[in-house]
A and B are shown apart, each in its own frame.
Chain A
């Protein structure tokens, strides 16, 4: 009987030691895991804050570029047309009726051009179509607007099943495509350009290509001409990636990929 009691005592002591060790182990693991979890949450909050700051900076940058665009359009086109109109009207000589009529006709033409330019400028700045309809419709309108200018012809194609993303993301994508098309109009001297939106499972692939004069992508952009870098920053902001292929005299091709999961 005493022997059994002795055996039970030994067993209980060892069992208590083992149970205490096990409980201590579990508590230690939970403690260190919680500590790691707190650090992780802090880092996550910091990353989110940085991301929000980046979004804000990009929004400011987009706004700044838009103002520059408005200023340039007003100065180079509308201002010029209106100045010419003013000059025409100012130099009207009613004694020479035929010349005067011609000048009035010219002035009316110049005013019409100014109105069209103002209209185009307004449309190009308006993101209401994206908000009301979709990115695809806004791009179709942009294509029609550019094609009407007769500077370049844009071929536009959509493959796959379209996925509707949030407005902010669609506006950013629209602006990237718009900037890329503007670059082609301004620098590529191409007669046509292709815009392809391919909706893959999980991501959107956008391809903008032309057969214009091309450029050397390895060259550093000039000050104030950081368009490509800005586009890349915006693509990265949406969690995507961008590729540029170009060679002097052989056109250019810009590809960017936007994953849906991060939107």
Chain B
């Protein structure tokens, strides 16, 4: 566990800290809205992965295959929660009928494929490289889609009439602080496998940057919640 903390240049501690702050702020400014519930679930689940998830992974390290399967499945569920939370918030701000239809299709596809992925992950007959390839592809697709939606959001705010102050809009803060994450995660997925064995230093720097970008997502959520408006605004 200590190796993980120092190996990530202490960014894992930063992520956990940001998650705790985010959960506290969400609960303190609680609104009985779907967006708030989804963001609380996203943050709490994130905290679970970074604390108990990692603890579980290191505890089961002697059972390598099971540990990897649990880790991969936790990441898949995290990706599903992430896409649900982000698309719910973003689609409320992007006024496009066609995009709404596409989004509904993607959500149905993600929901349908998740059980298949989880079954594949726990199938001992499937090679671990294939398992990792499948889950990485899923995460890559999910984060790229969120990244595209964020890009569309930024285009849409300049197309609509600027009646509301942007600094008071929660969606703006979530999108702004998530940009780095949506760019860094696909790059991390693409580069990580290569540097895992080729260069351990670069590998750890990439992981650290990924964690840093994730902590910004939680800072964005906290800032958005402090706007004291519905998160979909």
Residues of A within 8 A of B (CB): 3-4, 6-8, 10-11, 14-15, 18, 21-22, 25-26, 29-30, 32-34, 36-37, 40
Contact = CB atoms under 8 A, between A and B. Distances in A.
Contacts of B6: 4
Contact of B158 (A8, A11, A32): A32
B166 A33 contact: yes
B9 A18 contact: no
Contacts of B154: 29
Contact of B209 (A15, A32, A37): A15
A8 B9 contact: yes
Interface of B: 6, 9, 154, 157-158, 161-163, 165-167, 172, 176-177, 179-180, 184, 201, 204-205, 208-209, 212-213, 216
A22 B177 CA distance: 8
A33 B201 contact: no
A36 B176 contact: no
Interface SS, B side: helix
Contact of A26 (B9, B176, B184): B176
Contacts of B9: 7-8, 11
A14 to B, nearest CB: 6
B179 A22 contact: yes
Contacts of B213: 18
17 contacts: A6-B201, A7-B201, A8-B9, A10-B205, A11-B208, A15-B212, A18-B184, A18-B209, A25-B179, A26-B176, A29-B157, A29-B172, A32-B158, A33-B157, A33-B166, A34-B166, A37-B166
Contacts of A11: 9, 204-205, 208-209
Contact of B180 (A7, A8, A18, A33): A18
B163 A40 contact: yes
Contacts of B180: 18, 21-22
A33 B161 contact: no
Contact of B205 (A7, A26, A32, A34): A7
Closest 4 CB pairs of A and B: A37-B162, A33-B166, A26-B176, A11-B9
A37 B164 CA distance: 9
A10 B158 CA distance: 36
B212 A3 contact: no
Contacts of B177: 22
B203 to A, nearest CB: 10
Nearest to B213: A18
A30 B166 contact: yes
A18 B6 CA distance: 21
A18 B210 CA distance: 11
B186 to A, nearest CB: 15
Contacts of A4: 6
B162 A36 contact: yes
Nearest to B10: A8
Nearest to B154: A29
A14 B206 CA distance: 10
A33 B212 contact: no
Contacts of A30: 166-167
Contacts of A34: 166
Contacts of B157: 29, 33
Nearest to B208: A11
A22 B176 contact: yes
A3 B201 contact: yes
Nearest to A39: B162
Nearest to B183: A18
B214 to A, nearest CB: 13
A29 B172 CA distance: 10
Contacts of A10: 201, 205
